[in-house]
Amino acid sequence: MRIHICAVGRLKAGPEAELIKDYQSRLDRTGRPLSLGPLSIHEVEDKKARGMEAEADLLMRVIPKGAFIVTMDERGKLLSSPDFSQKIASWRDAGRQDLAFIIGGADGIAPSLRAKADFSISFGKMVWPHMMVRAMLCEQLYRAASIEARLPYHRV
DSSP state of 64: P
Structural contact between residues 26 and 140, judged by C-beta atoms closer than 8 angstroms: no
Between the alpha carbon of residue 1 and those of residues 52, 79, 93, 142, the distances in Å are 28, 21, 9, 14
Q: Which helix (H) or strand (E) holds 101?
A: strand 98-103
Residue spans of the chain under pLDDT 70: 156
* CA angle (145, 147, 152) in 5-degree steps: 115
Q: How far is CA 21 from CA 57, 128, 135, 151, 154, in A?
A: 27, 19, 9, 20, 20
Which among 135, 144, 143 has a CA at the least distance from the CA of 5?
A: 135
pLDDT of residue 88: 98
The whole-angstrom separation of Cα 132 and Cα 64 is: 24
In one-letter notation, the amino acid at residue 5 is I
All residues at 6 or more sequence positions from 25 whose CB lies less than 8 Å from its CB, including other chains:
none
Domain boundaries, the chain: 2-148
Reply yes or no on domain 2-148 having CATH 3.10.20.600: no
Q: Are strands 2-8 and 68-78 parallel, antiparallel or unpaired?
A: unpaired
Q: What is the per-residue pLDDT for 47?
A: 72
